[in-house]
Amino acid sequence: MSIGKRLSSGVAAAAMLVASCLPSHAQDEGGLLATATVGLGVLHDEDGTRARNELGFTLSSSTRRASLSFSLSGALEYPDADDDLTLEDPTLALAYKLTGANASLAFDAAYRQVEISTLVFDEELDPTAPITDTGYRTTADLGAELTFGIEAPFGGTVGLGLREVAYHETDSPALFDYDTRNADLALRFAVDPRIELSLTGSYEDIESEGAGRDRTTTAAGLGAEFQINKSLTASLNLRHTEIETSAGGGPVTRQSGPEWDATLVRTLPDGALTFDLASTVTSLGRRHEANISRTREFPTARLAWSVGLSQASDGEVDGLFSLSWTRDGKRGSFQALAERDVRASTFGDEALVDRLSIGYRRNLTELSGLTTSLTYRRTDYLDPAADTVEQMEFGLGFTRSLTERADLTARFSHARSRSGTQDAVSENTIYLGVQRNFSWRP
């Protein structure tokens, strides 16, 4: 059995183990705090109408030396297409950190299952074919990080990580399960209060099943950060990177060479101004990027923008930009983001991504509130053979407090996706239910 295959069954066991090993002083000083959410309602979508029982649980503890957070969530639905009880959207996350006088040790584990066609921005780009397909993607992660010399002139960080990605209930020929193993090392040397040097190294190995692709990336480098004056900081990093790729046991393709990035940051009374230049090695050759960005803080809002250029190995130049605005008021909040960026998938596939995201929350009365969101993403893969993918989701939610711990919840969502010249696929979902919250100290 491979390391990756042990993750799915091992995450829950690891969570129980770490929780049971929590130092007694953490429970005595800070105490464990548990919260639970139970929701019972009716869900309607293209698959019909069914009962949905939403469940959530969190456990946390924090002291001067140790912190623990554990959460799980999911929903029970009945009946499904086979007239069975099913568990939907299961998610589990665990984080534990122990801090000493000059070092810290952190451990985290996570498990998540999402529909393949779900629009999820915090994940890396998915392959093109399954965007309008059906099925599920499960991701299991384990990670550990040791940091030493926190207050010393010499220190560093060592990190290890494992990931398993698997696809279920889909016949897409473009999807392959894969495992990822990675290790990172970073050492820092404080020459004086204004100069800090660093040495870095990283290794990542991706192994796919069947005819899927394998990818190995190794890198080693050095860097320096300079505090020029109270408001101006500069940094320069040099690396040598090698990327090896293959598919289905076929020939290995190698890309290697030097990489560098330089950053200049000027701190301003209301934010910061940043200049970035970078040259990186990719699976297709080399990419150069230049960006200028600005953040500005207001009493109740935050503005951030950036503009830049990105040049691929074939000489193609793309314009980049990002604009975000966040505002908090007495009765609600508003967030908006528009951006164009070049992203790379786990296997190095590059794409030009356009994204728009708008969210609004409004307290209608002391007992009721309204939320709405709109997200759109267009993914133009740089591979001419790959299809352009468009995804859009709209959501509307209403909550009203029935008692101190119980709320009435109503939600509506509309999702639409299209890959290439295929017909667009749409789905509407309506949910109505009652949610109750609990909290206690075990």
pLDDT at 132: 52
Segment (H or E) for 17: helix 7-20
Per-residue pLDDT band for 218 (boundaries 50, 70, 90) equals: very high
* CA dihedral over 16, 20, 26, 27, signed as positive or negative: positive
Per-residue pLDDT band for 333 (boundaries 50, 70, 90) equals: very high
Q: Look at 20-29, 308-317, 403-412 and tell me which has the smallest mean pLDDT.
A: 20-29
Q: Does the pLDDT value for residue 111 go beyond 70?
A: yes
- State the residue for tokens 């910061």: 272
> How many angstroms separate the CA atoms of 342 and 206, rounded?
22
Where do runs of H (alpha helix) occur along 229-288?
none
Per-residue pLDDT band for 381 (boundaries 50, 70, 90) equals: confident
pLDDT at 421: 81
Look at 11 and 167; give whichever has higher pLDDT.
167
pLDDT digits 0-9 by tens, 15-26: 443 444 444 443
Residue 321: exposure state from Cβ atoms within 10 A (0-12, 13-18, ≥19): middle
> How many angstroms separate the CA atoms of 132 and 216, rounded?
29
> How many angstroms separate the CA atoms of 400 and 136, rounded?
33
Task: Return the percentage of the chain with pLDDT > 70, whole number.
Answer: 89
pLDDT at 81: 66
Query: Phi/psi of residue 386, each to 5°?
Result: -90, 145
Q: Does the pLDDT value for residue 128 go beyond 70?
A: no
Per the prediction, the chain carries an average pLDDT of 88
Beta strand segments in 63-177, E: 66-78, 86-99, 103-115, 136-148, 154-168
Per-residue pLDDT band for 124 (boundaries 50, 70, 90) equals: low
Give helix then strand counts, H and E, for the chain: 2, 22
> How many angstroms separate the CA atoms of 10 and 15, rounded?
9
pLDDT at 134: 72
Q: Look at 71-80, 114-123, 132-141 and tell me which has the smallest mean pLDDT.
A: 114-123
pLDDT at 286: 95
Q: Does the pLDDT value for residue 29 go beyond 80?
A: no
Mean pLDDT (whole number) for 425-438 = 94
Q: Does the pLDDT value for residue 172 go beyond 80?
A: no
Instruction: Give the DSSP letter of residue 130.
Output: G
Look at 124 and 364; give whichever has higher pLDDT.
364
